[in-house]
Amino acid sequence: MNIDFSQTELRDLGVAWLALGLAFAIFFERGATGFLQAGIVVPLVVSLLTAGVGFILHELAHKVVAVRYDQIAEFRADYNMLFVAIMSAIVGFLFAAPGAVHHRGYLTDRQHGLIAFAGPVMNLVLVVVFAPLLVAGIVLGSPLLELIGGRGLAINFFLAAFNLVPIGSLDGKTVMGWNKLVWAGTFVPSAVLAFVIVFVYNIGF
User: In this predicted structure, what is the pLDDT of residue 202?
Assistant: 82
Q: In the predicted model, what is the mean pLDDT of the chain?
A: 94
Q: 3 with 67: CB under 8 angstroms?
A: yes
Catalytic option among 29, 59, 74, 146: 59
> Does position 115 have pLDDT exceeding 90, yes or no?
yes
Q: What percentage of the chain exceeds 90 in pLDDT?
A: 84
pTM, whole model, 2 decimals? 0.94
User: How far is Cα 101 from Cα 171, in angstroms, rounded to an integer?
Assistant: 12
Question: Comparing 42 with 96, which gets the higher pLDDT?
Answer: 42
Average pLDDT estimate for 156-183: 95
The confidence band for 103, taking pLDDT boundaries of 50, 70 and 90, is: very high
Count of residues making up the chain: 205
User: In this predicted structure, what is the pLDDT of residue 172?
Assistant: 97
User: In this predicted structure, what is the pLDDT of residue 21?
Assistant: 95
> Does position 77 have pLDDT exceeding 80, yes or no?
yes
User: How far is Cα 36 from Cα 165, in angstroms, rounded to an integer?
Assistant: 34
Q: Is 146 a catalytic residue?
A: no
Q: 117 with 138: CB under 8 angstroms?
A: no
User: In this predicted structure, what is the pLDDT of residue 38?
Assistant: 85
Question: Comparing 96 with 119, which gets the higher pLDDT?
Answer: 119
User: In this predicted structure, what is the pLDDT of residue 94?
Assistant: 87
Residues 6+ apart with CB under 8 A from 5: 13, 74
> Does position 31 have pLDDT exceeding 90, yes or no?
no
The confidence band for 184, taking pLDDT boundaries of 50, 70 and 90, is: very high
User: How far is Cα 143 from Cα 124, in angstroms, rounded to an integer?
Assistant: 23
User: How far is Cα 85 from Cα 79, in angstroms, rounded to an integer?
Assistant: 10
CB neighbours (10 Å) of residue 34?
14
User: How far is Cα 27 from Cα 34, in angstroms, rounded to an integer?
Assistant: 9
Average pLDDT estimate for 24-28: 93
User: In this predicted structure, what is the pLDDT of residue 50?
Assistant: 97
Average pLDDT estimate for 88-102: 91
